Structure 1
Amino acid sequence: MDPITLVADQFRASAKIKRNCADALAPVIALAGALLADCLRAGGKLLVCGNGGSAADAQHFSGELLGRFERPRAGLAAIALTTDSSTLTAVANDYAYDEVFARQVQALARAGDVLVVLSTSGNSASILRAVEVAQAATVPVVALTGRDGGKLAGILGARDLEIRVPTSSTPRIQEVHILALHCLCELIDEALAS
């Protein structure tokens, strides 16, 4: 395939999934934005995690909140659980990789906090364990998933929210996840500015 056509086709595929998700995901993203803003306004913090590309997105989201998104404001309490290599490797070595986020949630999460998880498949064992620990601590979860939501969709409770991208393409799911995270940043900034 011609490289220019290949690139143009990727842009079109990305735009198509975003257009298809706009109306379906806007209500749940708005709810998640309100939940996160309420948490931060009340002095809580956001714990954010994912694996691979989703780990990068978790760090990106945390960075937007701790720094700034599009307008000047005080830093907001967000912790990417993906960034402490000593903790990640110690827990993976001494317990199991499945516990790398769960141990951090158990140690850091308090009433009033929210756990934000990203998993394109919804089947990542480390994410499932983190959600279980958060739920046991009555910490609500905002889950960004794809495909059919995987096992994660099945364990979410009434207090939890799922932002599910209904496609099987991992790159397209990740592209919508980053857009959803940017929407959450904007919703949080808007809510906290008023």
Structure 2
Amino acid sequence: MPRLYLIRHGKPAASWGGHDDDPGLDETGQQQAAAARDHLLGLPDGQRPRRVVSSPLARCRETAEPTAKALGVEVEIDSGVGEIPTPVTLAAADRGEWLRQAFQGTWAEIDGDLDYDAWRRQVAAALQDRGDTAIFSHFVAINAVVSLLTGEDRVVSFRPDHTSITVFETDGKTLTLVEKGREASTGVL
């Protein structure tokens, strides 16, 4: 069955909730991106990704680039695997506190103008027909998919480290979680 690799971006040059809302990678993040590439290229021929997809944000695009270059493919940008949307009425400076609150509860309890439980289903749907693909995304989007597939309602049910690789299988219609990626203490909470 085709495999899908959902990879959290490398360490960004600025922390989340900071003044730069789209930071690229710092030096450690660039090293992590190279290590993710090496891991993916080291997979057996039948399991190696053939496509590379990324969130539109710089930290994901920069993490995806070494893998795409090594595979000889372009990075496909897909906002469907992007960061969790902030309520439109929320000031950018308040995003950090909003996220802290959201991370303490369930998908249905997130305060905002969006149905965040439906959003997590949309993230999973953006993945299900992408077999043999490396997808570079975000902490919350990865939690969206893992929590949905494991039946967990908490927003944070898994703490993927930077460039952690979570593996799924897909038949084009459904996703099956094969293996969660590496977890670590994270500055997200």
Q: TM-score, normalised by structure 1?
A: 0.34
- Of structures 1 and 2, the one with the larger relative CO (CA 8 A, separation 6+) is 2
Considering fraction of residues, name the structure with more helix: 1
